[in-house]
A and B are shown apart, each in its own frame.
Chain A
Amino acid sequence: MADVLVVAEVAEGKLKKTTHSAITFAQKAAATIGGTFSILVIGDGAGKAAAEAQGFGAAKILVVEDASLKNYLAERYAPTVAAIGKNYGVVVGTASAYGKDLLPRVAARLGAGYASDITEVTPENGNLRYKRPMFAGNAFGICSISTPIQVVSVRQSAFAAAEPTGGQSPVETVAYAGPSKAAERVEFVSFDQVKSARPELTEARVVVSGGRALKEKFNQVLDPLADVLGAAVGASRAACDAGYAPSDLQVGQTGKIVAPQLYFAIGISGAIQHLAGMKGSKVIVAINKDADAPIFQVADYGLVADLFATVPELVKGIQAAKG
């Protein structure tokens, strides 16, 4: 089954941390099938970002840089990723917005089967078996792909970020394969970035999430708690829909999947779609004034109380406990 190709995610000349989860997968998968893995760094500033791909034990680091790759468009990236991917047995990326957008297109170009958001990889008679969540995380399916090339995306929270251990991988520059025909009909217009000084939701050790109950006081109530904990802020769909929090913060089946050491669900009822995004957290705290809210069924520590009175008190308590 040959070798594994990691499709790195690049932003502003840096490797995004999502990439490190795909590397962890590649290390495991390559060991399982007795092959090697390489890392493809494609995009604006790929040459610079490639230095950050050193030290993980990759057979090669492949760099593709071109002026037309400046703003990511699947129609521009997919032909090159597929042209390089066809020399590999498995092409993997992380199930971030980028990976989810790009990888199925790459799979289609390669005539490859695609399995998304996998949480586990195991050997099976020389092939690989993948475990992936379905039904909002209420079931796991175990699947395999029968095509000569397999394309998968991995769930970031299920594959711990790879740490560099040293060594140098040879760097190869590969020519840009050009855009697909479809690219002539799509134009990048803008990217409105939500700037935040907080850690990324999917990487944070602590996540403080708020729900519909917070109303316009979403930030006023949650920011001090997030500050004292160095936490990322998350939200329920209802809080995002109502505009209390940016959409990018939505945690859940159809938003971000998080698994921090500590998760606070504040004024969140605990709909299954929300639970799907945070059930994997190590310790869950719920604050809700309704003792019967379903969130308490998954919380390690539940506090039935009014959040507006409780959260400021909690901030003081944590400050004191931290000394």
Chain B
Amino acid sequence: MKILVALKRVADPDNANKVKIPASGEKIDTTGLEWKPNPFDEYALEAALRLTENGTQPKVRAGEVVVVTFGPKETETTLRAALATGADKAIRVDAADDKLDGDLVARALKALVEKEKPDVVLMGKQAVDGDSNQVGQILAELLDWPMATFAATIREEAGALLVGREVDGGVSTLRVKLPAVVTVDLRIVAPTSVYSTKTPQTHKYNDGVRFAALPAIMAAKKKPLVEVKLADLAPEQAMKVSYHGFAAPPARKAGIKVKDVSELVSKLKNEAKVL
């Protein structure tokens, strides 16, 4: 099985409260924040690796994982890290963040899919900077492929994937015949979430994503990382959505600490009047 994983790098999500918006409101200032891979995309990569191996012998690759990112030269760090974790090949589509919207990313991915011919495109359900939750769905429609969004479990079957999706009110299970687009949710990296046909159903993965060992980091330097021009994938680069400005969220006024339950109840009843 060949899997294409879209990997976006984002400003450190655990410090998202440190993004600054200058008074002019014209941009978002992320200076001082570290770049990290979008967590959902790291999960997508982990799921892709699980689908292309026998979980009991993770050193033997049984399929191919290609990672792709759209961004400037420095995003190659993210790609090298993905190669060290186990991906086989990386592609950087040269692009500036402010010249992309979800539609353009999806159109370029479509062209890339037509070249690379993966069986599955795996990606995060959302990028935690833009929080849009759109690229996978748009890509699936452009390709006229089936999709399974918000995947929490994936079982490989012959020529298909059985996907459990976290939706409102419960879990919806779909069977998508390949090729297909799958976007992943948080619990896709739980110990029993993903099984290739080679991995015994009794196998339990470690919780979370795997980390690269030092020799793998060295070896990753020799794995292929190619650069592609955005124009070669998407000749039409006009954006459909444009941002005109940014604003800080309204601040909450400082609260108080209450000393015990009876003070809390009295405040809720008499001050906040919510009981």
Contacts and interface: CB of A to CB of B under 8 A. Distances in A.
B167 A146 contact: no
The contact size tier of chain B is 35 or more
A24 interface: no
B234 interface: no
B242 interface: yes
A101 B146 CA distance: 12
A52 interface: no
Nearest to A298: B252
Interface in A182-207: 182-183, 185-194, 206
Contacts of B240: 112-114, 145-147
B140 A136 contact: no
A143 B242 CA distance: 5
Given A136-B16, A187-B174, A247 B187 contact: yes
B175 A300 contact: no
B152 interface: yes
B188 to A, nearest CB: 11
Interface residues of A, number: 92
A98 B168 contact: yes
A116 interface: yes
Nearest to B257: A302
B21 to A, nearest CB: 6
Q: Is the interface of B mostly helix, strand, loop or mixed?
A: mixed
A314 to B, nearest CB: 5
Interface in A133-157: 133-147
A303 B134 contact: no
B255 interface: yes
Contacts of B176: 185-187
Given A248-B170, A262-B274, A321-B275, A140 B145 contact: no
Interface string B204-230: 000000000000000000000000000
B102, B148, B169, most chain A CB atoms within 10 A: B169
A102 B134 CA distance: 10
Interface stretch (A30-38, A62-70, A216-224, A281-289): A281-289
Per CB-CB distance, the 8 closest pairs between chain A and chain B, nearest first, are: A113-B240, A186-B146, A104-B137, A108-B141, A185-B177, A97-B167, A317-B265, A300-B255
Interface of A: 73-75, 78, 95-98, 100-105, 107-109, 112-117, 129, 131-147, 180-183, 185-194, 206, 237, 240-241, 246-248, 253-254, 261-262, 271-273, 279, 282-285, 291, 296, 298-305, 310, 313-314, 317-318, 320-322
